[in-house]
Amino acid sequence: MFTAPAFRIAAPLGTLHSLPHRFSNSRNHSWHRTALLSSALPLFSALLPPTAASTAARAQEPPYFVTYSQVLEEPGNLEIAQRGLTGSPKDSNAFYNSTLELEYGAKAWWTTELYLQGQATAKDSAIFTGFRWENRFRVLPTERWINPVLYLEYEDVNGADKSVLEVTGHDSIADFQERNADSRGDISRTIEGKLILSSEPKGWDVSENWIMEKNMMGGAWEFGYALGASRPLAFTGGSRECTFCRQNFSAGAELYGGLATVHDFGLHHTSHCAGPTMFFNLPHGPTLGFSPQFGLSSNSAGILWRVTASYEVQQFRDLFRSKKAR
């Protein structure tokens, strides 16, 4: 059976205190409007219809922010999510990036997902940066020692995007140093493919992603990778339900980076990051996650802080079917 990843709604309030507070009046208002919207999104789950809330169930997923595992969405389930990313790279302004996700289990072997992205940069502006449409296809109908998943994505984003959902080619710290006004006009329409390999030895999840990406408007094929390993802190709990029991937590680590292009494949002038991850699955509630990720090369962005909160509505399609029947 395919378990569903929890939907992620990032709650960035704690991370915003580290950002500089000197803005012009107009930019300050734009920044705080974005921060307010981002911090309010975790309340979405509280506004769900009672039927939807009562059908929401929690199923642990590997605690990854960049790496994909074999886990697909259950057919008919809807996941509404937001990822938060903040950082203050060298020689650039602090920023907060928000990615809203709508993930739907179309079939047992097919999950489709829409991403909407935006960012706010201190002493600069807040802008919408684009969208992505992702599809994942499970190749084998049953569990094997290694479980392959094929990933296909179309993205339409501008150069101001700071989501760092993956690293490919020669992505580097320089991508964070341009002003929004200069980079927003650089539109990239890209197709991306991933080979996802995932296994579960002795309760661990071990996942490897091999990435290739091509800008349809020109340029060479770019490559990248993401690796993750994780496990729940406990596999079974006591007879009584509790919130802070070990089985509600999962921990792991990620490593990801670029592998240059088809013309110069390798590690030269590429960016790489690694860091620990932790997810907390609240019983009958959202999943919260956090990860500090550290740059491993001179081309990397130093420290990136990722936060996430997620909630899943089971059998979302049945809500509309029941209304139609009435």
Residue 109 CA neighbour count, 13 Å, CB half? 10
CA 306, CA 314: separation in Å to the nearest integer? 26
The amino acid sitting at 312 is E
Give the per-residue pLDDT at 39: 41
Q: Which residue has the tokens 């990822």?
A: 83
> Which residues partner with 291 through β-bridges?
306
Tens digit of each residue's pLDDT (9 = 90 or more) over 150-191: 999 999 999 999 999 999 999 999 999 999 999 999 999 999
pLDDT-derived band at 323 (thresholds 50, 70, 90) equals low
C-beta of residue 257 within 8 angstroms of C-beta of residue 225: yes
Confidence band for 50, pLDDT divided at 50, 70 and 90: very low
C-alpha separations of 66 from 177, 211, 298 in Å: 22, 12, 20
Q: How confident is the model at residue 64 (pLDDT cuts 50, 70, 90)?
A: very high
18 or 261, higher pLDDT: 261
Q: Cα–Cα–Cα angle for 124, 88, 304, nearest 5°? A: 130
Burial label, 129 (beta-carbon count in 10 A; 0-12, 13-18, 19+): buried
DSSP lists the bridge partners of residue 149 as: 138, 196
Residue whose entry in the numeric block shows the structure tokens 């650089």: 186
Domains, the chain, with CATH or none: 13-325 (2.40.160.40)
